[in-house]
Amino acid sequence: MIDALDVVRHARARHMRLAVHPATGRVRLTLPRRASLAAGIAWAESQGAWIERQRARIPGRTALIDGAEFPFRGMPLTIRWSPTGSRTPILNGDAELICGGPAESLPGRVERWLRRQALDLLREETLATAARAMVSVERVAVGDPRSRWGSCSASGTIRYSWRLIMVPDFVRRATVAHEVAHRVHMNHGAAFHRLVEQLHEEDPLPAREWLRAHGAALHRIGGA
């Protein structure tokens, strides 16, 4: 039996398909609308060797502990822990994050610090971009979604993944431009894409390609 199996039906699917999530290792079985569920699960279980090969390619999780290295705004940052240091993480130049306090609570404090950094920076950039687009933003928030890097509601709230604090600046700014553009166009039509490029002031395609290539690995940093 496959652990962590999600089964979905898709009206336009012609064949059964399997996919392994590149961050969580969960298996997704897509079935045509009228396909047999039992047959689909049996087929998925017969692909056990393929599933294990895909899972073996997933990078290991990086715990936010002393000596751990992770990206911060696209550059490597190393955690340096001292029991006599400040409980609040402090940047030392652009390569070290100095942390004190109890070692057992260090991962949680580092992640909370990263979330604060993400929220402060994303709020500042979002409001500045919204001003240029001449639109309002009701609220900026961060969370930890698995399937998207940002979202914009009709009410004017924009939410981001806090993990955007780890990506290079041009990737984060392209994501901000994308979400702010949704305050004008709540779709992905041609006018929307023109506005994204205008707000980003350069081609946003390299940012999308960067996230496709490296985004899954960011979900292996911190967390449970």
Q: Which residue ranges make up each domain of the chain?
A: 5-56, 69-218
> How far, in Å, CA of 150 to CA of 155, rounded?
15
Q: Please report where in the chains the tokens 């000596």 appear, as a residue.
A: 67
With a cut of 80, say whether residue 211 has pLDDT above it.
Answer: yes
Instruction: Assign 224 a pLDDT band (cuts: 50, 70, 90).
Output: low
Q: Alpha-carbon Rg of the chain, whole angstroms?
A: 21
Instruction: Assign 223 a pLDDT band (cuts: 50, 70, 90).
Output: confident
pLDDT per position as a tens digit, 119-135: 999 999 999 999 999 99
pLDDT per position as a tens digit, 163-188: 999 999 999 999 999 999 999 999 99
With a cut of 80, say whether residue 3 has pLDDT above it.
Answer: no
Percent helix / strand / coil, the chain, rounded to 5: 40, 20, 35
> How far, in Å, CA of 165 to CA of 157, rounded?
19
Say yes or no: domain 69-218 is CATH 3.30.2010.10.
yes
Enter the pTM of the model: 0.79
